[in-house]
Structure 1
């Protein structure tokens, strides 16, 4: 007797349970390819480039439409192992992939997250560095840098100073990747401390360095994002778990307040890619022993999942002309929080603005036309797995083919060098208010 269902089951590839050990390049690739084959309807595996030594920089995408962007579905990403000797994040992202695909259709939260979000996961940005480390070590090793001995988290263009260094293949690959997707929210996973760090990592007086910090115009959102992650990690929230390290109230810190760096990835994401990114330091020990990995997963699983949901904060929508044609490259920003590189609609006329509950005036600007203002109110309890949707139809006469929309990208030069104070976010009084707000919001 023929059993077609059984025969089909035998032909389907099975994903073996992912163990808690360090997965070097060959084993990592084997796992990612097996997942992509076994869950082909919700995953897409691709390489965004190669390392100095020719290793693929793999990204696994999870979503209902994993191969292409869909209007209204925000793009989220996690990147780990940027420093090759900081290894916990690499393994956590492999386990996150495993958790997402195996719980789709079983766990309502995971199912809704996959249905409403396109999730990009890069377990290792510096595979050469990881392979160079000979044995676990809690401190610095020569695997931190890439094969050309460059620290990749000092290798991006910097908005505050001229960061004239040789751009490395891994850095260039990420910069090109950011141009291909409308990333809204991101985090990069590091080790060597236990804290959620938010931009800016570098700064000038205009961003508040006289007060030993460097704040973005979206500082309220960044503090909220960092706290969202840290508050669900018991050890991180304590803020003092690493011996001989600085204390971090509530487990969060402004990057510049901790220590300034030039050419950091999170600043580059925020300024040039319109993507809010924070840096997650996940372990006091950079490369802990394998037997510690299960406890790291248990400590971070809830945070990793809850942080992804924050891509649905605020407001999103499309900008159209009066005839219903979507408008690309149109500036869409909140009136009192302009970015040094203006945030613009993508090729579908979409915009995504991460905002906390409240009332905001959105300024929509098309070159050659007067600014268009519209008010939005974001309720305290927003829709599940969706930002507030606010499409904007501009009152232009005739076809918009005649409108000359600037398609130039923001220049990669020091943008803040001579800038006067640009945002109320640099005022000490607002900083203290925001900290109080976080306590009230989460009590």
Structure 2
């Protein structure tokens, strides 16, 4: 009897062989990536969960592989981490290293102590390609290939809502809407998106409207110290990034890091959106001088990034975490959890489990919790360095029972921050508004006097 191998069967067998004998260093097309992820999910069903968060303009699935001790659902106290690759379709190194990271994590669980501790303490989400349409349209050129944009010729890293500019009418691309919905579906704590064309770790803000956040050419966020630490964690764990000037005619980046706005202003970027609206601290990793390097470079690029990818994941355990609970032990959703001295554009709030996560460097911090109908609660916490122990400091806030009015209405929502926070008259932009209005006021006054 003759066995006929159909194209689909051959693809499946090719993916299966890759998982059994080691993922080869080459550029896998979208069908091959899908088959590989499905094969990994079959082979490691208790460790992984594969799902699509949406589709591209041309109808390709945006596959996410989730890995961890409890891959199918969030568990209280276990932070959510994510990596996103190939946002620009012709920047392909991130796509490759994330596939090899998946191989490392799945094969290393229970055999590699570091991998085992990461997956036992963290739920890890990996989106190898956010822009599969762009990848399929790409040409293999170091810097000038096609494929950066999606099928609608839109730069996905300019299409997110921006905290510093009015763009309420901006149409969101399918890939961007999928990531926004994904971000709202999980309480993500830490993230990185992987790009190419330089070798540097860039951190928020990417944009500014000239308010108080603009300092000496950088757009500085309230968590700037944490972002600098996160960027340096990656750059110094990378074999070359921290050595600066890794690319021909590239800008010198001290310690291999840069504030995004200081490098170049960017409106509608994904990392600012994650931070402002998603309560998820995200940085942008530029992994290679060539956006689409030759395949012979891929083993070296993986070796350079492997320790940095693992070290960065551990940083999800910085700071403090816990729950806000009412007097009966029920979780309180949407409570404000604010750190004194850090005035975030959108205040951090508890999720549906009453959980909060605040990434903080070691030190003493005063944390204030605000719930409608309750007096604010404050507590000064001494925060250790959590990544070494794979757990942030845990502290729960328990609300007091009100003696006069009975049980507080813990479900009453506080003011939301889903709308635009762009506000030139607000605290972070008052200086800009004054500078812009002063010439007009002086001109008006002169005309009245003349």
Measured after TM superposition, the shift of residue 401 of structure 1 is 6.1
1:358 is the counterpart of 2:363? yes
Q: Contact (CA 8 Å) 1:81, 1:189: kept in 2 or not?
A: yes
Listed one character per residue, the Cα deviations across residues 341-389 of structure 1 (whole Å, up to 9, x for unaligned) are 1110011100000000000000100123221101110125766110011
What residue in structure 2 maps to residue 387 of structure 1? 392
Aligned to 1:179: 184
Q: Distance in 1 between matches of 2:217 and 2:63?
A: 37
Residues 416-441 of structure 1 deviation map (CA, whole Å, 9 limit, x = unaligned): 4322249xxxxxxxxxxxxxxxxxxx
Q: Distance in 1 between matches of 2:206 and 2:239?
A: 25
Task: Quote how far apart the aligned CAs of 1:204 are.
Answer: 2.7
Contact persistence 2:325–2:398 (CA under 8 A):
yes
1:158 aligned partner: 162
- Count of aligned positions: 412
Q: Which residue of 2 aligns with 1:265?
A: 270
CA distance in 2, matches of 1:416, 1:403: 30
Partner in structure 2 of residue 95 of structure 1 = 100
**1:402: Cα distance to partner?**
2.7
Decide whether aligned partners of structure 1 residues 383 and 393 sit closer, same or farther in structure 2, where only a CA change above 3 A counts.
farther
Quick check: 374-383 or 328-337, which moved more?
A: 374-383
Deviation at 1:266, TM superposition (A): 0.1
Contact 2:166 2:422 in 1 (8 A): no
CA 12–94 in structure 1, closer or farther in 2 if over 3 Å, else same: closer
Specify the alignment match of 1:19 in structure 2.
24
Cα deviation 1:281-334 (Å, max 9, x = unaligned) = 000110001110000000000000000000000000011112211111100110
Which of 16, 32, 39 aligns to 1:34? It is 39
With 11-20 and 218-227 compared, the bigger mean Cα shift is at 11-20
Are residues 1:211 and 2:226 paired?
Answer: no
Cα distance in 1 for residues equivalent to 2:24 and 2:386: 38
Cα offset, 1:239, TM superposition: 1.3
Task: State whether structure 2 residue 413 is matched by structure 1 residue 413.
Answer: no
Q: What are the residue-to-residue correspondences of 1:24-63 with 2, within 5 Å?
A: 24-63=29-68
Determine which of 298, 301, 306 is the counterpart of 2:303: 298
Shift in Å at residue 207 of structure 1? 4.0
Query: In structure 2, how many angstroms separate the alpha carbons of the residues matched to 1:260 and 1:22?
Result: 31
Normalized against structure 2, the TM-score is what?
A: 0.88
Matched, 1:120 2:125: yes
Residue 317 of structure 1 aligns to a residue in which SS? strand
* CA deviation vs aligned residue, 1:126-153 (integer Å, no higher than 9, x gap): 00000001x3111133300000000000
Structure 2 Cα separation of the partners of residues 22 and 129 of structure 1: 14
Aligned counterpart, 2:116: 111
CA distance in 2: counterparts of 1:401 and 1:181, whole angstroms: 27
Is 2:69 the counterpart of 1:64? yes
1:140 is matched with 144
Instruction: Flag structure 1 segments of 5+ consecutive residues without an equivalent.
Output: 1-10, 423-443
Residue 414 of structure 1, CA deviation: 4.3
Q: Say which SS state the counterpart of residue 205 (structure 1) adopts.
A: coil
Aligned partners of 1:13 and 1:37 also within 8 Å: no
CA distance in 2, matches of 1:157, 1:117: 28
2:239 is aligned to: 234
Counterpart of 2:409 (choices 402, 415, 421) is 402
- Corresponding residue number in structure 2 for 1:431: none
Mapping of residues 186-225 of structure 1, within 5 Å? 186-209=191-214, 211-225=216-230
The offset of 1:397, in angstroms, is: 2.2
C-alpha distance 401-285 of structure 1, shift in aligned 2 (>3 A): same
Q: Does 1:311 align with 2:343?
A: no
- Alignment partners' CA distance in 1, 2:250 and 2:179: 31
- CA change 1:14–1:202 in 2 (3 A) is closer
**Structure 1 Cα separation of the partners of residues 388 and 242 of structure 2:** 27
Contact 1:162 / 1:414 at 8 angstroms: preserved in 2? Answer: no
Aligned pair in 2 of structure 1 residues 23, 352: CA closer, same or farther (>3 Å)? Answer: same
Cα separation, partners in 2 of 1:343 and 1:321, compared to 1, 3 Å: same
C-alpha distance in 1 between matches for 2:88 and 2:181: 20
Q: Aligned with 1:222: secondary structure?
A: helix
- Shift of the alpha carbon at 1:413? 1.8
Normalising by structure 1, we get a TM-score of 0.89
SS of match in other structure, 2:237: coil
Aligned-CA RMSD value: 2.0
- 1:184 partner SS: strand
